[in-house]
């Protein structure tokens, strides 16, 4: 015997099962009162949420201001450092061209050797001074990043 599918009977059967489950859930007493301690705790948490949000917002704004200030300072320091390096390179190139011009006007080998010796003596002292300048600027550039490093360390 083959049974045929009856949509109306299936729908009635589903409604009947739904009513039975709903009736059983009603018997469980899910509408029980929430204890006063839990209710009080929830109310306190809800009341404190705006304050916590405001404090978090203030801390975030302060962090952003610190980062912006640090990045501005670091940017200015990096720009100053790069300009100094370019200036030093220009001075060194000018010095080489001055040497080349002097060498082209030299009358003999002795004068060429003397010009080169004087150039290198002067250049060594200039390079030492330039290294000190670059070192000082490098320290200033490193110091510009300290607030960011400190802010990151605090949050770890």
Question: Global pTM?
Answer: 0.52
In the chain, what are the domain boundaries? 64-155
pLDDT-derived band at 6, boundaries 50, 70, 90: confident
CB 142 within 8 A of CB 130: no
Model confidence at 3: pLDDT above 70 = no
CA distance 77 to 85: 12
Q: What is the mean pLDDT of the chain?
A: 83
Look at residue 2 in the predicted model and tell me its pLDDT.
56
- State residue 144's pLDDT score: 64
Buried b (16+ CB within 10 A) or exposed e, 128-143: eebeeeeeebeeebee
Sign of CA dihedral 104, 109, 114, 118: positive
Q: What would the mean pLDDT of 7-15 be, rounded to a whole number?
A: 86
Residue 24 or residue 153, greater confidence: 24
As a three-state string, the secondary structure of 8-39 is HHHHHHHHHHHHHHHHHHHHCCCCCCCCHHHH
Q: What is the pLDDT of residues 94-123, one digit of tens each?
A: 999 999 999 899 899 999 999 999 999 999
Q: Render pLDDT for 49-98 as a digit per residue (tens, 0 to 9).
A: 888 888 889 988 888 888 888 888 878 888 888 898 999 999 999 999 99
């Amino acid at each position: 015997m083959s049974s045929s599918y009856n949509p109306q009977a299936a729908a009635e059967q589903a409604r009947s099962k739904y009513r039975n489950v709903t009736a059983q859930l009603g018997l469980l007493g899910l509408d029980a009162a929430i204890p006063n301690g839990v209710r009080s705790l929830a109310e306190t948490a809800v009341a404190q949420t705006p304050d916590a949000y405001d404090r978090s917002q203030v801390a975030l704004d302060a962090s952003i201001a610190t980062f912006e200030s640090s990045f501005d300072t670091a940017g200015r320091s990096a720009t100053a450092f790069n300009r100094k390096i370019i200036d030093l390179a220009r001075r060194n190139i000018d010095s080489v061209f001055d040497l080349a011009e002097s060498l082209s006007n030299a009358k003999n080998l002795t004068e060429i050797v003397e010009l080169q010796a004087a150039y290198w003596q002067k250049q060594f002292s200039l390079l030492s001074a330039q290294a000190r300048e670059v070192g000082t600027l490098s320290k200033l550039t490193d110091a510009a990043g300290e607030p960011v490093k400190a802010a990151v360390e605090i949050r770890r």
